[in-house]
Structure 1
Amino acid sequence: MRLRTVLATVTAGLAAATCLAAGPAAAAAPASASAARDHACSPSVSLDRFSDALDKTTYRDTYVGNLSALAPDRRGDLAALSDRSQLFTLDSRTLKPTSVVQLADENGAPLDSEGLVVDRDGTRLVSSETEPSVRRYSRGGRILDRLPVPAALRVAPAGRATTNQTFEGLTLLPGGRTLLASMEYALSGDTPGTVRFQTWQRTRDGHFRLGAQYAYRTDDPTLGVPEVQATPDGRLLVLERGYSAGTGMTVRLYLADPRRATDTGGVENLTGQPGVRLIRKTLLTDLAACPTLGATSRLPQSNPLLDNIEGMTITGQDTRGRLRVLLVSDDNQNPAQTTRFYYLRVRADR
């Protein structure tokens, strides 16, 4: 994704002076109603805790970082995808890795893996922004299928997308018949900030065919969409993210509804045409408003809790119906960044 290059440039000088002696940190969950209020990011979102347990760690000689996607796995485990094409299985309670599989394309070349879905049969659907592509893998990393991609969404000159600005988010809608991928930034010829969401429909033989496409607009054209996750009622949680030197990360969480949006698959250029209904969205929180809970940052941030948040998954609901949402940051294997997990509770009843 584009922020990797930006952050690498900004932190090149800082990395040499960064002290990495501090060990993994975690903040405790609130123990009372008063404490819960202290953990509020907004009326809709609260932060239970965070964990740096995997920051700058290795597993079987593999670096555990560069994490770009999360997904609940069978038996209560958690699948975590690195954009360097490593697919980890984590213990969902301790976050300790229990296995790792190396993914590749049909020629054995590594991918820029960004989105992850664990399908109902345990196979993995993985998006890469290299081409871009969506492939199905076995649990052991063998390619089983490759989904079709509209020509316009391919990286130029084959299409109108920009390198490292393509498929970032991937989610399966309730019922398991519709898969959705979010582009990170706009296509050439579309209004900046207007991002396309592509869907596929599951066929009777278990493959996926191209489905409708929708348009989503970020609050600022400098913000991209690093992740999207379907809620149990068919709406979407959408992350918008950007970076500014000196002030650090901007990360905002939205509740979006694609169900009345226009199918834009046949619209060549999205430039504000009348009659094109965008995906409706509501801001749930700006994560800069979350309490720090003692978090520290090696880079200048408006809130030291923030880092390059890129992965998101819904792990369940609490007794009050709030979604349990887990986020993770991509440290880009950079000494000045942090692999951090964020445990949120989200009210999505609007």
Structure 2
Amino acid sequence: MQLIKKNNIWKKIIYFCLPIILIGLFFANFTSPSVEIVGADFIGEAVLKTGTLFQNTQVGGLSGITYDASNQVYYAISDDRGDKAPARFYTLKIDLSKGKLQQGGVVPVGVTLLLDAQGKNFASTTTDTEGIALTQKGDIYVSSEGDVGKSINPFIKEFTLASGKEVKTLPVPEKFLPTSSKRGIRNNLGFESLTVTPDHQFLYTATENALVQDGSEAKPNTSSPCRILQYNLATNQAEKEFLYPTEAAPATIKIINKYANGLPDLVALDNQGNLLSLERAFTGFGFSVKLFKVSLEGATDIRNIDSLLATDIANIQPVRKQLLLDLGKENVLLDNIEGLTLGSQLADGQPSLILISDNNFNKLQRTQILALRLKTESSSPILRFFRQLVPNSNK
């Protein structure tokens, strides 16, 4: 009888604890709040003229930017392939103390040359550095598109912040390498973007347009199926890939025979796979720049799909996208915006977003820096769970 009573007590303990354990395990992936962007306001611009010199280098080609909150400075990578000076990044001061960005509010305060593993400058034409992100150690990751025509592969490397010397290289999956004319990244349409999650667990990059074996590059009124690539920084390995279709931008007045549209940058908002994406198009007469809220939640992992053209894409769930802001509707003449980063916190506690343009060292263009005020809300773990139960649209 005593043994039966003991067994009943243990059963009650198990029945009481088991639901708690299961609930705890169920919500293990919802341990921190996510960031919800509910709006964005344009709060000013500043311009650096083409030809601006700093420490014997020409400031230009700034195609990626990242914020160092501990030092209250920004690092901007130049995509100069060695024509003006060796591969390098600039340290910038951006003044938002008045709650807006004004002309004269962006000042270069440093320039650092990138050095290879042997401590030497990268040879001219061997890099096309486009993306930049800060590491947990206070160093930087830099992405390069390489050069398909010269059989130079893209890379993602870590460099020390102080000396600019190469520390390590992240392996690039074989399907991204331009090993033939039928596969890999397209020239100048590779790893433009780079961002690291706040917990420094994941790094994201993306192709600016489709891999050759995945589909067409962007054309007027035609989308391009890009891939977002997720690295686990604990293992330094690429572990997931997601389909990101660009918007189909129309061609407008055809002043010159040139059209470009793609995904030049991403910024991670939280540790739950919420990002902002930047899509920029040159449609024949001026630039189109749009910001989208992006969620990886529920998106199909396509890392084991070598070619999207060889599979039924209807069975693939792409990332979820929602338009946040069309900068073409703001009172600003847009240039070739290619980089974005979360910036300093504004006086009202909301984060800023900084965008920067690549002037291509063209006298008809300029280095344009734009500032936005983001309106944010925190989404609780339980609320995120119940939102998962409601179907979401990709539109």
| Shorter-chain TM band | 0.7 to 0.9
The equivalent of 1:79 in structure 2 is 75
**CA distance in 2: counterparts of 1:119 and 1:308, whole angstroms:** 27
Give 1:183 shift: 0.8
| 95 and 320 in structure 1: CA distance in 2 versus 1, 3 angstrom threshold | closer
The equivalent of 2:226 in structure 1 is 195
The equivalent of 2:356 in structure 1 is 328
- The unaligned stretches of length 5 or more in structure 2 are 1-37, 81-86, 96-104, 147-152, 217-223, 250-259, 380-395
Counterpart secondary structure, 1:166: coil
| 90 and 54 in structure 1: CA distance in 2 versus 1, 3 angstrom threshold | farther
1:181 partnered with 2:205: yes
**CA distance in 2: counterparts of 1:243 and 1:258, whole angstroms:** 27
Identify which of 23, 36, 50 aligns with 2:45: 50
**CA distance in 2: counterparts of 1:55 and 1:344, whole angstroms:** 23
Give 1:275 shift: 2.8
Counterpart of 2:202, as a letter, is T
Equivalent residues in 2 for 1:201-216, closer than 5 Å: 201-203=232-234, 208-216=236-244
Normalized against structure 2, the TM-score is what?
A: 0.69
Normalized against structure 1, the TM-score is what?
A: 0.78
Equivalent residues in 2 for 1:229-244, closer than 5 Å: 229-232=267-270, 234=272, 235-244=274-283
**CA distance in 2: counterparts of 1:183 and 1:268, whole angstroms:** 15
- The unaligned stretches of length 5 or more in structure 1 are 1-42, 293-304
1:119 partnered with 2:135: yes
**CA distance in 2: counterparts of 1:44 and 1:124, whole angstroms:** 29
Render the CA deviation track for 1:269-298: whole Å, top value 9, x for unaligned.
224523311000000121110123xxxxxx
Contact 2:50 2:363 in 1 (8 A): no
Counterpart of 1:86, as a letter, is R
1:248 partnered with 2:286: yes
Render the CA deviation track for 1:64-120: whole Å, top value 9, x for unaligned.
111011111241111111012221111232422222112254573241101101112
The equivalent of 1:63 in structure 2 is 58
Give 1:307 shift: 0.5
Contact 2:154 2:190 in 1 (8 A): yes
Contact 2:343 2:354 in 1 (8 A): yes
Contact 1:255 1:348 in 2 (8 A): no
The equivalent of 2:321 in structure 1 is 281
The equivalent of 2:370 in structure 1 is 342
Contact 2:194 2:265 in 1 (8 A): yes
**CA distance in 1: counterparts of 2:134 and 2:345, whole angstroms:** 19
Higher mean C-alpha deviation, range 219-228 or range 258-267: 219-228
| 210 and 137 in structure 1: CA distance in 2 versus 1, 3 angstrom threshold | same
Identity %: 29
**CA distance in 1: counterparts of 2:376 and 2:245, whole angstroms:** 20
Contact 1:55 1:340 in 2 (8 A): no
**CA distance in 2: counterparts of 1:331 and 1:170, whole angstroms:** 19
Identify which of 123, 127, 151 aligns with 1:109: 123
Contact 2:357 2:368 in 1 (8 A): yes
Counterpart of 2:77, as a letter, is L
Give the root-mean-square deviation of aligned CA atoms: 2.1
